[in-house]
A and B are shown apart, each in its own frame.
Chain A
Amino acid sequence: MDSAGMDDEAVPAPEAAVRLTAVTRTYGSGDGAVTALAGVTLELAAGTFTAVMGPSGSGKSTLLQCAAGLDEPDEGRIAVAGTDLTGLGETRLTLLRRDRIGFVFQSFNLMPSLTAEQNVGLPLHLAGRRPKKAEIAAVLQDVGLADRAGHRPSQLSGGQQQRVAIARALVTRPAVLFADEPTGALDSSTSRDVLTMLRSLVDQRGQTIVMVTHDPVAASYADRVVFLADGRLVGQMDRPTAEAVAAQMTHLESAPC
């Protein structure tokens, strides 16, 4: 199980960090079947910050999970950093996720028994590496938590916990960082800090970020917003403002369907 071999399947157009081609995902079967994604094609360039928006049930979380290799589409192809995810086994997918993909959850999902430092070092441990203290410290420094390394999640505020989670996602230097409502559980000023930090990661380190959100203000930190409704792409907006996004969302939510 060697992750190095995956780079061989590199495809042209290196600037596309994430590429979805006609992706369909249906949950359940028969009458109870729910189509979360109905043929989504989307290309996200490297070094950009993209927000995915849509009303509840529009399929935005499914889109994110499929793109991050946490869920498998029924049809269509997904490529991340030049590697086609289609048909990879569970183990190869895991290795790819570990090396190339970072993921941040709405509910932080830190291991309660581990300190901030240990949580951040976890992916490296799992990869069989003994993380260097300096390496972890540098990542914690990046998210502004250098002085909280020895604290457990229960001793940290929500914003701090989310920043530990972001540090954990960044420690493997992933090609793409996926974030599912990263500010959903935070108050507005803490949200601003986290979003500013994400923005600076894009600007200063060229990190590719894909973020699902329902908050127009959060979306306004992105370079580009894509809108989903009923599992389909229904629009996009470059250099968004909170007001424009809010207007578009209102339109989507009131649209008859």
Chain B
Amino acid sequence: MLRIALLTVRARWIAFAGSFIALTLGVGLVATMGLALAAAFGTQATPAGEDGAVRYGAAPAVVQAPGSLHVRIGDKTKSRELKAPRGLDPAVAARITALGGAVEDRVFYAQPATAGGPRVTIGRPWSVAPYAPYRLVAGRAPAAPGEVALPAGGSRPGAAVPVLTARGPATYRVVGVVDPGEAEPAVLFADAEAARLSPRVDAVISRAPAAELRAAAGGSAEVRTGDRARTAGASGARDDTLDGTKIMLGTAGGICGFVAVFVVASTFALAVAQRRRELALLRAVGATPRQVRRMLFAEAFAVGTIASALGCVLGPLCAPALGGWLVDRRLAPPSYTVPVAVWPLAAAFATGLTVSLLGVWAASRRAGRIRPAEALRDAALETRLMTTGRWVLGIGATAAGLWMTASVLGDPGTATGRKQYIPVTMLLITGVAMLAPVVVPPLARLVAWPLGRLPGAGAMVVRENALTAARRTAATAAPVLVTVGLALSLLGATASIDGARHAELRAQHHADFIVTPAGTPGLNRAVVDRVAAVPGVDTVVRTPTTLYALEDGDALVKYPAQAVTPQALARVADLPVVAGDPARLTDGTIIVSREWNREPGDRIDVWLADGTKTSLVVAAVLKTGTGDGSVFVTPRNAGPGMPESIDVKLRPGTGRGAALAALRAATDRLGARPVPARDWIGAATSESGRQSRLGMFVVLGVALLYCAIAIANTLVMATADRVRDQAVLRLSGATRGQVLRVVAAESLLVVGIGAVLAVLVSALSMGGVVAGLLGLSGRLTVVVPWSPVGGVVAACAVIALLASVLPARAAMRARAVEALGTRE
């Protein structure tokens, strides 16, 4: 049987090439994503210091507070990484110091406000210099409170430099210059001055034996030696980029896997469907159903093995390029590289082979049931549109998608998560694609209706062809459905979520001006005090922070939160209050979002960003919202972070110009500047929009590229199958131009049908997201990204036209009468 199969390859090479290309590229895609994802999990997170700089390059041992929060719940311990550095327990620090050979390290914000020199944002005590190490290259060590040593490249010894710290500006005299080498550049203060600026002890460097240190530390501090000492200080605030990379690649991998499976399965099914007549003939001359099935399986196995192997060669070629691109666009940390790993390739190979066998399995069951008498009739007439399996899968996937949407209607936070809307989109696309043969005829009538208004026979032929071969039309429209459906659903969901964020940001900042950091990581106390002293304005100082709380008593959950000065909050921010009164926000209270499941008046245990445990009373409950604007505490509960912005609202009667001038004066040379609130909101939205767009571009881009190839592939296959129809058309008196116009119109009709189905799918999947947003923020936000989706549809149309008209033109070089015989 395999021999017969091999012999038929010659006659059906386009169908074979189509399946082959689809599978090779599909496996290549899965392999690329698999390798990239495996590499993301294999990459070390960059240490906390900027650009991977080392904090303790020459320290024998470092004792520091654990970087994570451990909370005992019953007999289990839950842990979360802390977002802010936590000071070492003074008692522990004292015990370690008592062992001798110890140096206390303090790491705090300090930034010389001078032009030129390396960017420095931290300050440390001079005593740590030998351990970082900072090598003195000029001058001497700082000893008096007003003296500092700076990294080389900036001010010379003897110069007076203003240095910004969290307290505000102060002028210091440079007495020494150090070469930081690999170490994190820092402003080095005299030890006593460093202790005054930052009383918290971040770590103790010690020469004492590790065992003694461990005994002294007990369970409340960690002791790091050797290489682990080198990277100490990194555990608290890891680089978030890598987590983003993992999430993005995971999502992209899921979508690519789905697209590859979908396209390969439908291509294989189309290839089998095209051979219906040939298979019926084999049946008529004596092939049993089993023989037909075995022949198809043998073919699929051969094609599947070779194509999957080729795809596995493609993966290692493409994956490093993808990795480089991600690093260039800052979507992955600089340390991210993509080595070749075996298991992603093995998984891709197995997926390819399995999908090709499954694709043929479904089709071969149909093929095995082909009655030999069909060889006597015209095989282009499809007798049954739907099989039981198709009904079950189609209705099952659609129902599952709708059920998933319906089940989270009461849980808006989940409804807007990508783990929700992406699977829903996939399920609906699968379901609609399966049900397409039923949906296509009415849809074809609808889409082709404008064609029918045109004079001439062409429109009639186009419409009737699409209607008669509903299954073929459905198969060719499937790649368009996937392409447009994914683009519209996912871009629509992200754009709507961004739109909701933008609206929320506007409601939260009913301010005239926002004071923001200028070249500094945050606002120092001098800025805060001087802006507060500007007459005729209300201000709200905001500090981003993180809170940890127990959810349902058994999970330690991390919540983004804002520490705000409460006095003017109600005037500046339009808070979506569910219960309680935000005005009651004090140092002993908290405003929480609805997802906390609390009532005003409840007392709850909360851990602050640095792990400090405190107990707060709920003052108000807000709608959950989409960002971090629904949990509020006062600055006292903010942890060690610096304020990020000050909202400034003019009181009635205050002139805008005068206020702006006063704000400029108040922030002058303090590393801050006032900007109009509208500009600030615009910049914040476009930045988060840019990131989510870039991420979506990666997630979707590769999958869409593959879809484009699949559209071309499917249409070339379908057109090759129709040489005979076109010959009949020509013999009935159509000119070449007329035939080509019919071909072009047919492929446009297919694109139109695919696009309409995609809109249907997207309306359903986006509906869930929009309902979720409505529940989160109380606003109805629907953003349809018309231009990118329009671009995708246009690209589909162009590809479809090229992929059908060009082969049809080539086929018409033969005389119509000869073409007529090609199927016999």
Contacts and interface: CB of A to CB of B under 8 A. Distances in A.
Interface of A: 1, 61, 65, 70-71, 90-91, 94-95, 97-98, 103, 105-114, 118, 122-123, 125-127, 153-154, 161, 168, 172, 180
B772 to A, nearest CB: 49
Contacts of B290: 91
Contacts of B12: 113
B684 interface: no
Majority SS at the chain B contact face: helix
B376 A127 contact: no
B821 A126 contact: no
B373 A112 contact: no
A70 B371 contact: yes
Contacts of B289: 90-91, 94
A154 B823 CA distance: 10
Given A91-B289, A127-B286, A111 B281 contact: yes
B375 A95 contact: no
Interface stretch (B1-9, B461-469, B479-487, B519-527): B1-9
A175 B76 CA distance: 82
B288 A1 contact: yes
Nearest to B291: A126
B4 A125 contact: yes
A95 B7 contact: no
B7 A118 contact: yes
A95 B375 CA distance: 18
B284 to A, nearest CB: 6
Contact of A94 (B9, B278, B283, B821): B283
B14 to A, nearest CB: 13
B375 A109 contact: yes
Nearest to A118: B7
B286 A126 contact: yes
B824 interface: yes
A144 B375 CA distance: 26
A112 B11 contact: yes
B8 A111 contact: yes
Contacts of A110: 824
A162 B11 CA distance: 20
A257 to B, nearest CB: 25
A256 B9 CA distance: 52
Nearest to A107: B824
B284 A91 contact: no
Nearest to B289: A90
A1 B289 CA distance: 12
Contacts of A122: 4, 282, 285-286
A70 B291 CA distance: 17
B286 A123 contact: yes
A70 to B, nearest CB: 4
Given A70-B284, A94-B287, 13 more contacts: A65-B376, A70-B372, A71-B373, A91-B289, A105-B284, A111-B278, A112-B823, A113-B8, A113-B9, A118-B7, A123-B285, A153-B824, A180-B376
Interface in B246-292: 278, 281-291
B822 interface: yes
Interface in B147-182: none
Contacts of A123: 285-286
A137 B11 CA distance: 24
A106 B372 CA distance: 15
B384 interface: no
Nearest to B290: A91
Q: Which 4 A-B pairs have the closest CB atoms?
A: A98-B286, A113-B11, A70-B373, A94-B288
B10 interface: yes
Nearest to A61: B376
Contacts of A161: 824
Contacts of B11: 111-113
A239 to B, nearest CB: 30
Contacts of A61: 376
Q: Kindly name the residue among B285, B288, B371, B821 whose own CB sees the greatest number of chain A CB atoms within 10 A.
A: B285
A91 B294 CA distance: 14
A69 to B, nearest CB: 9
A103 B284 contact: yes
A126 B282 contact: yes
A206 to B, nearest CB: 22
B284 A154 contact: no
Interface in B670-700: none
Nearest to B4: A125
Given A70-B373, A94-B289, A109 B8 contact: no
Contacts of B7: 111, 113-114, 118
Contacts of B375: 105, 109
B822 A126 contact: no
Contacts of A112: 11, 822-824
16 contacts: A65-B373, A94-B289, A98-B286, A103-B285, A105-B375, A108-B824, A109-B375, A111-B278, A111-B282, A112-B11, A113-B7, A113-B8, A123-B286, A125-B4, A154-B822, A168-B285
Contacts of A107: 824
Given A112-B823, A113-B7, A113-B10, A97 B376 contact: no
A208 B12 CA distance: 37
Interface string B787-824: 00000000000000000000000000000000001111
B134 to A, nearest CB: 79
Q: Kindly name the residue among A1, A71, A111, A180 whose own CB sees the greatest number of chain B CB atoms within 10 A.
A: A111
A161 to B, nearest CB: 8
B381 to A, nearest CB: 14
B568 to A, nearest CB: 79
Interface string B361-381: 000000000011101100000
Contacts of B285: 98, 103, 122-123, 126, 168
A177 to B, nearest CB: 13
A6 to B, nearest CB: 14
A123 B290 CA distance: 15
Nearest to B286: A98
B817 to A, nearest CB: 12
A110 to B, nearest CB: 7
Nearest to B280: A109
A142 to B, nearest CB: 18
Contacts of B291: 126
Given A94-B283, A94-B289, A125 B372 contact: no
Nearest to B281: A109
